[in-house]
């Protein structure tokens, strides 16, 4: 071959070699995801998507830890001991700042969950019973997240519903810079979503759905939102608004039609020790579950980790959070709920340590976080009866719970405003360590004592309804981008 | 066919007969002092075949009767042509060069003569990094080249090392240089997933390296296109030399200790700690009764006084053995080596062992065709306990955290693993027990190598095909015992991960050289054109389990009862590129250079998948001008400049895609979420760099000076542009933002004194880099951890609450309320975060080295210095003051405020008082000088003695590394070297080593 041709051939080979394979060569697709636009093609895909939505709520920043823990460490129920791991101290001391990581993450995680729910709600695939049920679940999650956002990041509805609430997000828009809707507008959206969901949801606990495209069967247990979970949530939302007639209607729907029962007195400790979702309609209405392979980040950053010390028999981790003596002393000796607090010792604390045992230190299957329980619905109903003037039914409903927990208890029989105090006391005892106490104090604008160190009562704080730290700051990262959103007072 | 073969053999025989009509030339080759040069190459000009000199510098070569000239060359010497007509014996004196113009420099995809180079690049010779007591070669870079910052953030052997060339050029993308080993663009960094840190480069034995070139400016790096913006490190491994088979044995033995814990950071003794507890409780208004109960619960008066740092550190062993062989003739050359390296960290439980082997074979099939192959295998075995920020299993962090009043041993001498009270280990575990019983094992095996084919198509035109592979497989075996420690609640926990990376890199290239352009042949030109394809594949299996049997001897997950994780991961990336360059040189006075590369990558968004990169450079060798001929003192004067573009493709592999990902499983069912927002416009970061340099040689290059000024402007910075969190995403990765790195580098190497027996060499380098953030999205400040990005300011500017000081009247720390700095508050939380104009990046850094030689004795000392940055102690709040009163405390607390009128930097010690001691309080001046290396040795020069011992060389030395550290800020409780960000993460202590070494050639 002539030299000239040799060069030309080599040159040609270079160019051909480069261009021949480059198109496919550069198209490398991920191993664990698909293009977002083609993700939901049928109801089976939608089923996977709703699982993703529930998984979003398992996040440490939502029901995995923060939302549950906050309601007790920011109330008169619990405090963080001096020898601690440094977590949630700002909540405990009521001195969060505008870039408080725990508070910011609640906002981010709640809206991330809404984004995942909206993908289902706004899906245009052909509807059938499965799609209708799954969309109802997604609508309920969207309502639940907006509810958590508005009560954590805005002042209570019961104080002034026309104050700024939080942005309402109904569809994905990466350029959106939404303004805050009023508290009232947010609650209107929550109620609208829940009402729509209640109409679309057909499946109660222990019923099944079959996805024809894959043949997969899905049996609803308490880890999913079933028909009456929606009414139960609606009752809680109306309770928060102080809309008692509607709260009563919603709670009664659960009580009359849901088929739920309270657990037997003797079975309460076992009920809390059980880590798996149920189908027997006993006690749990909706919970966020965690199993061995799908649990939270390990290393103790979870409810058992924060409530239980590492030492046997607790087998938790940090054990930063202890109950106040005042909570423990509320329970009578015959109250089975007293068994859910162990009187132990704690490093750095000289007096007795009251250790919560609702979350067992079974770290291969972290305890589920109860979001809606039947006892809570009954207590909401009692409060609704009271507020609608039906004292007889209020006491009757209240005692359904109280006497189940304390078989020796004769029952509450107060009159007048004392009935409400009895209901609140029963709520505090029944729902301790479930993130509920704080909200009772907030929606009723109560003043209370926040313990800092059981050994040093001089450090107790008195929290009044005007304390600005009762409301989380709008995250600094949101304000930096969404400049007109407006910060909450005190930050 | 058989006949043809016969004929061929006959012809060959005839040829050898012709060759036999030879004569023999004998000679010796020495340096300018008359010392024999061993292994110098002696070849006939224009002919084939050659030999090398023996230990006495002598050679004997058989040449054809017609041969006229011999070419004598040796590494680090200028080659010389010697006429041999009519001579049978010659003596050749070679001139040593340090910065000679005809020296060849390694460049991207080839080499060039220094005179023709227009680029700014530095070189580290193999001698400078061999036998060092460092676990990876990048740890040997510190102070070697001006503008190359190599700082350790973790003293764990085999931990990842941060290297930055000419400042930090990226916010979020990789800022480490590209490493190219023997032509392969290898994967570097930390591939681990279960342990804290590993380093791919630790699998490579530094003794197998011939030299390292660090490419700094655009003329040097632009040919690496979208991967060149952070600079490029070209590593060439050793190859065989023709001549007598030679062996070399190197060993170094010694011990490691930790480099520095300043007095301020020493933990308190028990008596002092109790004083603080009492004082803190008094200041927090506890009653006497309450105080006495507290003191009793911590064991007041029981005599326990533990120095946890002493218990969790040790004198570790440091050893290495290396054996290498070089052999070959004119056609085939072979290099082989084997090495063993072991380093034990000063912190207990951490060590690294490496076994490595290397072979390189070069073979000339004909005068036109040559092939070579090389294979390098390294196996690293590491014990790598947690060494990261605040990890409970990190023995160093825990040694700071534990109280001096906690006794690690029971009365019977067994480990105290109680957790029930303050005298045992209720919060942080007993590190002695944990380290003895937990396992953090990494086995990392890397094979890299490949083949190269060179074909000289015709005079000046060469085709090269080079294929290289890198295969790295890493096993991680983590076991936490079920009795005491992080997994005590789960009856033990284990993680077994396997990670494999396979990469291939294939390039085909044409090189053309001609000087046949002008009649006088003064103009020469070099052209290069090629294409390259790279594919990377990553695969990982993860398994985790809990509930182990009641033993600590069976760490594998298979022994445990409950599987908690069983998953896998994988990723690919590809690059496809064409590249080329051209270099013109006229009369060795003027050089012009240009390069081009077009890169496509799977990492770039579909709208921006291809990018073009180019550079131009020029050099003027002023000393070769006629008007310079009278200025004898100036042996080298070269002015050079370059400008060009490079990119940074160090982004995630699939980030541009908008994806819906699985893995968000729930209740045992598969779940998916919309998990990546994507950006189809996503592309590389684009850097344009201008470099002006001056190379000066004085007095026959006894003094060499290199000065460079550069301005690197990086645009389209990959940035997680914050978006409203209400979208469900925090940010969108975008090409926004602009950053500038501008600086000066100065290097001088001089032989200050030279007599027959004595010499003194001085080397000094300094680099100044000024980093400025030029543009941010919407011109808004962005908080980046403890830093704040602000236009016009340094990228690593701290953004913290500003401290006024300790109020002498109250002893409280006073914080500025806002950046007007008019009002102060004692409540930390109410003070606003402020831009502090204090950076984590040094203004200046560099080194000073001195080498003295007297006959065979020599002494070298290298100082490394760093000036102008601030160091943040991120864990300060735990160990200063009373916010966490149950932890161990720094000694600096002894200077606390005690009574009105006290002037001090440490506030009143108040039990449980929140939010002190963070913010600006935890910033310290980071200026320091470290005696990086001091070596005293003896090299045997007596040839007759060497001959008697039947060896060719012998060198013996004692070396100390990091022996002395001088930090300017006396309040700094830490080692001042804390990684690129200058933030303490309670990582392992940097090592100090004392070793003795021996090198023997035979």
Is B672's CB within 8 Å of A458's CB?
A: no
**Which residue is listed with tokens 């070669």?**
B137
Least confident of B57-61, B283-287, B491-495, B908-912: B57-61
**Rounded to an integer, what distance in angstroms lies between the CA atom of residue A236 and that of residue A286?**
13
Disruptive mutation site among A294, A318, A482 for chain B (greatest number of B CBs within 10 Å): A294
- Three-class SS state of A457: helix
**Rounded to an integer, what distance in angstroms lies between the CA atom of residue B649 and that of residue B832?**
37
Nearest to A206 by CA among A131, A132, A277, A291: A277
**This prediction's pTM:** 0.85
Taking only residues 908 to 927 of chain B, the set having a beta carbon closer than 8 angstroms to any beta carbon of chain A reads 911-912, 914-915
> Taking CB atoms and an 8 Å cutoff, what residues of chain A touch B489?
310, 315-317, 361, 363
Disruptive mutation site among A81, A104, A303, A311 for chain B (greatest number of B CBs within 10 Å): A311
Segment B455-476, tens digit of pLDDT: 999 989 999 999 999 999 999 9
Disruptive mutation site among B290, B296, B484, B728 for chain A (greatest number of A CBs within 10 Å): B728
Disruptive mutation site among B398, B672, B677, B801 for chain A (greatest number of A CBs within 10 Å): B672
For B61, the token pair is 């070569």
Q: What is the DSSP letter of B94?
A: P
Q: C-alpha dihedral over B131, B134, B138, B141, to 10 degrees? A: -70
**Rounded to an integer, what distance in angstroms lies between the CA atom of residue B664 and that of residue B671?**
5
Mean pLDDT value of segment B309-322? 94
Taking only residues 163 to 192 of chain A, the set having a beta carbon closer than 8 angstroms to any beta carbon of chain B reads 167, 169, 172-178
**Alpha helices of B104-236 — where are they, by DSSP H?**
126-129, 218-221
Is A456's CB within 8 Å of B297's CB?
A: no
H or E element that contains B591: strand B590-601
> With contact defined as beta carbons under 8 Å apart, do B974 and B926 qualify?
no
Distance from CA of B774 to the nearest CA of A (A): 19
The shortest CB-CB distance from A33 to any of B392, B547, B661 is to B661
**pLDDT at position B619, please?**
95
Least confident of B25-39, B615-629, B897-911: B25-39
Q: What is the DSSP letter of B287?
A: -
Distances, alpha carbon B122 to alpha carbons A101, B220, B488, B864, B928, in Å: 45, 11, 52, 17, 24
**pLDDT at position B266, please?**
92
CA atoms within 13 A on the CB side of B362: 15
Distances, alpha carbon B441 to alpha carbons B136, B350, B381, B783, B859, in Å: 18, 10, 7, 37, 39
**Which residue is listed with tokens 């109904």?**
A170
Is A99's CB within 8 Å of B678's CB?
A: no
The shortest CB-CB distance from A22 to any of B547, B600, B725 is to B600
**pLDDT at position B43, please?**
82
> With contact defined as beta carbons under 8 Å apart, do B963 and B863 qualify?
no
What percentage of residues in chain B have a pLDDT greater than 90?
Answer: 63
Segment B104-133, tens digit of pLDDT: 889 999 998 888 899 999 999 888 888 888
Transcribe B940-982 into DSSP letters.
---HHHHHHTT-SEEEEEEEEES--EEES-TT--S-S--TTTT
Taking the Cβ of residue B671 and every Cβ of chain A, the question of whether any pair is shorter than 8 Å is answered with: yes
Distance from CA of B267 to the nearest CA of A (A): 19
Distance from CA of A6 to the nearest CA of B (A): 8
Taking the Cβ of residue B284 and every Cβ of chain A, the question of whether any pair is shorter than 8 Å is answered with: yes
Segment B259-271, tens digit of pLDDT: 889 999 999 999 9
Taking the Cβ of residue A98 and every Cβ of chain B, the question of whether any pair is shorter than 8 Å is answered with: no
Transcribe A266-308 into DSSP letters.
GGHHHHHH--S--SS-BSEEEEE---TTS---STT-SHHHHHS
* B9 has pLDDT over 60: no
> Taking CB atoms and an 8 Å cutoff, what residues of chain A touch B564?
292-293, 295, 364
* A300 has pLDDT over 80: no
**Rounded to an integer, what distance in angstroms lies between the CA atom of residue B188 and that of residue B235?**
13
**Rounded to an integer, what distance in angstroms lies between the CA atom of residue A427 and that of residue A330?**
12
Segment B786-838, tens digit of pLDDT: 899 999 999 999 999 999 999 999 999 999 999 899 999 988 888 888 999 89
Segment A170-210, tens digit of pLDDT: 999 999 999 999 999 999 999 999 999 999 998 999 999 99
Taking the Cβ of residue A363 and every Cβ of chain B, the question of whether any pair is shorter than 8 Å is answered with: yes
The shortest CB-CB distance from A22 to any of B576, B663, B672 is to B576
Distance from CA of B504 to the nearest CA of A (A): 13
* B21 has pLDDT over 80: no
**Residue B857 burial (10 A CB sphere; 0-12, 13-18, 19+):** middle
**Rounded to an integer, what distance in angstroms lies between the CA atom of residue B473 and that of residue B12?**
48
> With contact defined as beta carbons under 8 Å apart, do A69 and A109 qualify?
no
Nearest to B195 by CA among B343, B377, B380, B355: B380
Is A223's CB within 8 Å of B422's CB?
A: no
> Taking CB atoms and an 8 Å cutoff, what residues of chain B touch A348?
297, 422, 426, 886
Is A477's CB within 8 Å of B667's CB?
A: no
Q: At what angle do helices A391-405 and A418-430 cross, to 10 degrees?
A: 30
Q: Band of the pLDDT at B486, cuts 50, 70, 90? A: confident
**pLDDT at position B509, please?**
95
What is the average pLDDT score of chain B?
Answer: 89
Segment B418-459, tens digit of pLDDT: 887 888 888 889 999 999 999 999 999 999 999 999 999 998
**pLDDT at position B453, please?**
95
Nearest residue of B to residue A119, measured between CA atoms = B674
**Rounded to an integer, what distance in angstroms lies between the CA atom of residue B221 and that of residue B644?**
9
Transcribe B622-642 into DSSP letters.
GGGSGGGTT-TTEEEEEEEEE
Is B290's CB within 8 Å of A456's CB?
A: yes
- Three-class SS state of A379: helix
Taking only residues 82 to 141 of chain B, the set having a beta carbon closer than 8 angstroms to any beta carbon of chain A reads none
> With contact defined as beta carbons under 8 Å apart, do B747 and B762 qualify?
no
Segment A224-274, tens digit of pLDDT: 999 999 999 999 999 999 999 999 999 999 999 999 999 999 999 999 988
Taking the Cβ of residue B514 and every Cβ of chain A, the question of whether any pair is shorter than 8 Å is answered with: no
Mean pLDDT value of segment B727-735? 93
> Taking CB atoms and an 8 Å cutoff, what residues of chain A touch B886?
82-83, 347-348
* B947 has pLDDT over 90: no
**Rounded to an integer, what distance in angstroms lies between the CA atom of residue B577 and that of residue B505?**
11
**Residue A2 burial (10 A CB sphere; 0-12, 13-18, 19+):** exposed
User: Which long-range contacts link B411-420 to residues 24+ away (Cβ below 8 Å)?
Assistant: B415/B484, B417/B483, B417/B484, B419/A309, B419/A310, B419/A311, B419/B484, B419/B488, B420/A311, B420/A345
Q: Band of the pLDDT at A4, cuts 50, 70, 90? A: low
> With contact defined as beta carbons under 8 Å apart, do B178 and B185 qualify?
yes
**pLDDT at position B760, please?**
94
**Rounded to an integer, what distance in angstroms lies between the CA atom of residue B346 and that of residue B314?**
5
* A8 has pLDDT over 60: no
Disruptive mutation site among B724, B731, B736, B815 for chain A (greatest number of A CBs within 10 Å): B724
* B14 has pLDDT over 50: no
Is B565's CB within 8 Å of A14's CB?
A: no
Nearest residue of A to residue B600, measured between CA atoms = A26
**pLDDT at position B31, please?**
80
Mean pLDDT value of segment B508-533? 91
> Taking CB atoms and an 8 Å cutoff, what residues of chain B touch A486?
none
**pLDDT at position B915, please?**
66
Q: Band of the pLDDT at A293, cuts 50, 70, 90? A: low
Is B666's CB within 8 Å of A293's CB?
A: no
**Rounded to an integer, what distance in angstroms lies between the CA atom of residue B361 and that of residue A335?**
84
Mean pLDDT value of segment B357-361? 95
> With contact defined as beta carbons under 8 Å apart, do B312 and B347 qualify?
yes
Largest pairwise CA distance in chain A? 113
Nearest to B231 by CA among B250, B215, B249, B255: B215
**Rounded to an integer, what distance in angstroms lies between the CA atom of residue A456 and that of residue A346?**
15
**pLDDT at position B6, please?**
47
Nearest to B929 by CA among B964, B972, B880, B979: B964
Taking the Cβ of residue A123 and every Cβ of chain B, the question of whether any pair is shorter than 8 Å is answered with: no
The shortest CB-CB distance from A174 to any of B420, B654, B677 is to B677
Q: Please report the ipTM that was assigned to this predicted complex.
A: 0.93
Q: Band of the pLDDT at B5, cuts 50, 70, 90? A: very low
Taking the Cβ of residue B659 and every Cβ of chain A, the question of whether any pair is shorter than 8 Å is answered with: yes
Disruptive mutation site among A276, A286, A347 for chain B (greatest number of B CBs within 10 Å): A347
**pLDDT at position B129, please?**
86
Q: Band of the pLDDT at B221, cuts 50, 70, 90? A: very high
* B483 has pLDDT over 50: yes
Mean pLDDT value of segment B154-166? 89
Taking only residues 367 to 426 of chain B, the set having a beta carbon closer than 8 angstroms to any beta carbon of chain A reads 392, 419-422, 426
Disruptive mutation site among A16, A17, A33, A166 for chain B (greatest number of B CBs within 10 Å): A33
Distance from CA of A479 to the nearest CA of B (A): 8
Segment A21-77, tens digit of pLDDT: 556 899 999 998 999 888 899 999 999 999 999 999 998 999 999 999 999 999 999
């Amino acid at each position: 071959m002539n030299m000239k041709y040799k060069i030309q051939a080599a040159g040609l080979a270079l160019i051909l070699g480069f261009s021949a394979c480059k198109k496919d060569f550069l198209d490398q697709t991920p191993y664990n995801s698909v293009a977002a636009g083609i993700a939901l093609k049928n109801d089976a895909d939608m089923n996977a998507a709703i699982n993703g939505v529930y998984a979003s709520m398992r996040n440490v920043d939502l029901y995995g830890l923060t939302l549950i823990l906050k309601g007790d460490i920011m109330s008169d129920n619990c405090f963080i001991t001096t020898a601690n791991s440094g977590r949630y101290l700002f909540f405990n001391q009521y001195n969060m700042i505008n870039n408080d990581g725990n508070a910011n993450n609640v906002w981010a995680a709640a809206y991330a969950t809404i984004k995942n729910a909206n993908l289902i709600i706004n899906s245009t695939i052909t509807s059938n019973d499965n799609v209708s049920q799954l969309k109802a679940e997604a609508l309920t999650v969207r309502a639940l997240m907006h509810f958590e956002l508005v009560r954590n990041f805005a002042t209570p509805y019961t104080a002034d519903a026309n104050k700024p609430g939080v942005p309402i997000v109904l569809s994905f828009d990466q350029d959106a810079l939404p303004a805050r809707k009023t508290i009232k507008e947010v609650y209107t959206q929550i109620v609208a979503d829940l009402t729509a969901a209640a109409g679309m949801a057909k499946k109660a606990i222990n019923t099944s759905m079959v996805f024809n495209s894959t043949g997969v069967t899905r049996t609803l247990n308490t880890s999913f939102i079933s028909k009456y979970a929606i009414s139960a949530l609606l009752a809680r939302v109306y309770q928060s608004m102080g809309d008692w007639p509607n709260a009563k209607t919603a709670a009664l729907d659960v009580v009359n039609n849901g088929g739920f029962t309270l657990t037997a007195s003797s079975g309460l400790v076992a009920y809390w020790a059980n880590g798996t979702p149920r189908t027997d309609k006993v006690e749990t209405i909706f919970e966020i579950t965690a199993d061995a392979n799908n649990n939270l980040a390990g290393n103790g950053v979870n409810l058992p980790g924060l409530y239980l010390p590492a030492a046997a028999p607790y087998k938790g981790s940090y054990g930063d959070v202890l109950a106040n003596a005042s909570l423990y002393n509320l329970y009578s000796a015959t109250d089975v709920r007293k068994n859910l607090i162990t009187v132990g010792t704690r490093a750095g604390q000289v007096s007795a340590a009251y250790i919560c045992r609702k979350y067992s230190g079974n770290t291969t299957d972290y305890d589920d976080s109860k979001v809606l329980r039947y006892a809570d619905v009954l207590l909401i109903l009692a409060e609704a009866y009271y507020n609608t003037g039906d004292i007889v039914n209020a006491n009757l409903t209240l005692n359904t719970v109280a006497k189940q927990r304390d078989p020796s208890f004769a029952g509450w029989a107060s009159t007048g405003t004392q009935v409400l105090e009895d209901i609140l006391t029963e709520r505090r005892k029944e729902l301790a360590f479930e993130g509920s106490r704080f909200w009772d104090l907030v929606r009723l604008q109560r003043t209370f004592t926040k313990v800092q160190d059981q050994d040093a009562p001089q450090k107790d704080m008195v929290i009044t309804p005007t304390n600005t730290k009762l409301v989380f700051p709008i995250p600094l990262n949101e304000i930096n981008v969404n400049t007109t959103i407006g910060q909450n007072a005190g930050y | 066919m058989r006949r043809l073969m016969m004929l061929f053999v006959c012809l060959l025989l005839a040829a050898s007969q012709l060759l036999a009509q030879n004569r023999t030339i004998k000679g010796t080759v020495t340096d300018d002092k008359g010392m024999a040069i061993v292994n110098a190459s002696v070849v006939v000009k224009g002919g084939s075949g050659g030999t090398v000199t023996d230990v006495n510098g002598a050679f004997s070569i058989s040449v054809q009767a017609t041969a006229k000239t011999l070419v004598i060359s040796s590494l680090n010497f200028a080659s010389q042509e010697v006429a041999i007509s009519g001579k049978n014996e010659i003596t050749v004196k070679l001139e040593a060069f340090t910065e000679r113009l005809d020296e060849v420099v390694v460049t991207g995809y080839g080499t060039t003569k220094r005179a023709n180079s227009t680029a700014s690049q530095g070189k580290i010779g193999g001698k400078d990094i061999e036998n060092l007591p460092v676990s990876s070669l990048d740890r040997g870079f510190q102070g070697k080249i001006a503008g190359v910052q190599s700082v350790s953030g973790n003293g764990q052997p085999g931990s990842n090392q941060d290297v930055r060339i000419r400042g930090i050029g990226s916010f979020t993308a990789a800022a480490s240089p590209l490493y190219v080993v023997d032509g392969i663009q290898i994967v570097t960094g930390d591939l681990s997933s279960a342990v804290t840190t590993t380093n791919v480069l630790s699998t490579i034995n530094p003794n197998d390296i011939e030299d390292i070139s660090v490419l700094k400016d655009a003329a040097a790096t632009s040919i690496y296109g979208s991967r060149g913006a952070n600079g490029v490190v070209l590593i060439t491994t050793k190859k065989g030399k023709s001549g007598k088979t030679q062996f070399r044995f190197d060993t170094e033995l010694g011990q490691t200790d930790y480099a520095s814990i300043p007095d301020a950071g020493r933990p308190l003794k028990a008596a002092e700690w109790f004083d603080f507890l009492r004082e803190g409780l008094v200041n927090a208004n506890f009653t006497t009764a309450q105080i006495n109960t507290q003191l009793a619960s911590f064991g007041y008066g029981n005599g326990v006084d533990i120095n946890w740092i002493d218990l969790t550190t040790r004198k570790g062993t440091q050893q290495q053995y290396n054996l290498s062989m070089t052999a070959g003739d004119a056609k085939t050359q072979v290099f082989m080596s084997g090495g063993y390296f072991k380093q034990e960290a000063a912190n207990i439980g951490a060590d690294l062992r490496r076994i490595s082997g290397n072979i390189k074979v070069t073979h000339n099939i004909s005068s036109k065709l040559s092939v070579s192959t090389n294979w390098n295998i390294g196996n690293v075995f590491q014990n790598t306990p947690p060494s990261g920020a605040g990890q409970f299993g990190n023995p160093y962090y825990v040694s700071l955290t534990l109280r001096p009043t906690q006794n690690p041993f029971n009365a019977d001498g067994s480990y105290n693993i109680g957790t029930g009270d303050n005298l045992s280990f209720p919060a942080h575990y007993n590190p002695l027990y944990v380290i003895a019983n937990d396992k953090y094992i990494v086995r990392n095996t890397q094979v890299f190598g490949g083949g190269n084919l060179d074909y000289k198509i015709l005079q000046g035109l060469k085709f090269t095909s080079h294929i290289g592979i890198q295969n790295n497989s890493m096993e991680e075996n983590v076991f936490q015992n079920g009795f005491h420690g992080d997994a005590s609640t789960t009856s033990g926990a284990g993680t077994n991960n396997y990670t494999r990376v396979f990469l291939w890199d294939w390039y085909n290239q044409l090189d053309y050289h001609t000087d046949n352009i002008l009649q006088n042949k003064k103009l020469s030109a070099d052209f290069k054109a090629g294409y390259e394809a790279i594919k990377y594949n990553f695969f990982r299996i993860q398994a985790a389990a809990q509930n182990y049997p009641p033993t600590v001897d069976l760490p594998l997950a298979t022994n445990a009862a409950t599987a908690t994780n069983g998953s896998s991961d994988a990723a690919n990336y590809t690059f496809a590129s064409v590249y080329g360059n051209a270099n013109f040189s006229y009369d060795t006075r003027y050089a012009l250079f240009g390069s081009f590369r077009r890169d496509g990558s799977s990492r770039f968004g579909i709208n921006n998948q291809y990018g073009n990169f180019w550079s131009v450079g020029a050099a003027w060798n002023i000393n070769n001008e006629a008007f310079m001929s009278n200025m004898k003192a100036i042996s080298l004067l070269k002015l050079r400049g370059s400008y060009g573009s490079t990119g940074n493709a160090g982004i995630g592999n699939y980030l541009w895609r908008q994806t819906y990902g699985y893995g968000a499983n729930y209740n045992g069912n598969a779940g998916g979420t919309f998990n990546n927002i994507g950006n189809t416009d996503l592309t590389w970061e684009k850097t344009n760099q201008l470099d002006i340099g001056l190379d000066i040689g004085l007095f026959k290059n006894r003094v060499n000076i290199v000065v460079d000024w550069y301005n690197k402007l990086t645009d389209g910075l990959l940035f997680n542009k914050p978006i409203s969190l209400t979208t469900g995403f925090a940010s969108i990765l975008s090409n926004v933002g602009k950053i500038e790195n501008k600086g000066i580098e100065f290097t001088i190497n001089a032989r200050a004194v030279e007599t027959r027996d004595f010499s003194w060499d001085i080397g000094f380098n300094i680099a100044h880099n000024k980093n400025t953030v030029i543009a941010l999205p919407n011109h808004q400040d962005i908080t980046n951890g403890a830093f704040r990005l602000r236009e016009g300011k340094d990228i690593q500017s701290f953004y913290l609450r500003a401290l006024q000081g300790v109020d002498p009247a109250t002893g409280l720390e006073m914080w500025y309320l806002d950046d007007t700095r008019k009002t102060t508050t004692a409540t930390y939380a109410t003070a606003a975060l402020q831009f502090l104009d204090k950076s984590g990046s040094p203004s200046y850094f560099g080194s000073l080295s001195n080498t003295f030689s007297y006959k065979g004795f020599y002494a070298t000392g290298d100082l490394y210095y760093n000036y102008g940055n601030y160091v943040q102690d991120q864990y300060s709040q735990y160990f200063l003051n009373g916010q966490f009163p149950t932890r161990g405390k720094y000694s600096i607390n002894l200077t606390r405020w005690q009574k009105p009128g006290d002037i001090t930097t440490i506030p009143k010690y108040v039990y449980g008082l929140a939010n002190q001691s963070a913010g600006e309080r935890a910033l310290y001046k980071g200026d320091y000088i470290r005696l990086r290396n001091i070596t005293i040795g003896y090299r045997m020069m007596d040839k007759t003695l060497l001959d008697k011992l039947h060896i060719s060389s012998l060198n013996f030395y004692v070396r100390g590394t990091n022996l002395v550290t001088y930090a300017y800020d006396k309040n700094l409780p830490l080692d001042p070297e804390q990684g690129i960000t200058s933030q303490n993460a309670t990582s392992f202590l940097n090592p100090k080593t004392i070793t003795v070494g021996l090198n023997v050639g035979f």
